[in-house]
Chain A
Amino acid sequence: MIPSQMLKGILGGCILTVISREETYGYEISQKLRQMGFGNIAEGTIYPLLLRLTKNGCICATLKASDTGPARKYYSLTNTGKEELAQFQKDWLELSTAVNHLIGENSHG
Chain B
Amino acid sequence: MADKKKIHALQKQSEEAEKKICKADNEAYTDMIVYLRASNLTMYQQEQVRRDLLEITLSGEQRGESIEEIFGGDYQGVCDEIIANFPPVTLRDKVINTASICLMGVTITLLATAGTQVVTNLIQHKNPLLYQFEVSSILLFAVTVGAAYGIVMYICKTALKTKAKPQHKVRLFFLRWLVLFLIFSGILLLSVYVKATLFACNIFIIIAAAAICYLVHRVLDNRTEY
Chain A positions near chain B (C-beta within 8 angstroms): 26-27, 41-45, 47-49, 51-52, 55, 66, 68-73
Contact = CB atoms under 8 A, between A and B. Distances in A.
- Majority DSSP secondary structure for residues of A touching B: helix
Contacts of A48: 78, 81-82, 84-85
A9 B13 CA distance: 36
B62 interface: yes
Contacts of A47: 52-53, 56, 78, 82
B85 A52 contact: yes
Interface of B: 13-14, 16-17, 20, 51-56, 58-60, 62-63, 69-72, 74, 78, 81-82, 84-86
A71 B62 CA distance: 15
Contacts of B72: 41-42, 44-45
A51 B85 contact: yes
A51 B82 contact: yes
B62 A68 contact: yes
Nearest to B61: A68
Given A72-B59, A73-B52, 19 more contacts: A27-B56, A27-B60, A42-B69, A42-B71, A43-B70, A44-B56, A44-B70, A44-B71, A44-B72, A48-B81, A48-B82, A49-B81, A51-B86, A55-B86, A68-B55, A69-B17, A69-B58, A70-B14, A70-B17
Contacts of B58: 68-70
A73 B55 CA distance: 9
B78 A68 contact: no
B57 to A, nearest CB: 8
A42 B70 contact: yes
A70 B20 CA distance: 11
A68 B69 contact: no
Q: Which of B56, B63, B78 has the most CB of A within 10 A?
A: B56
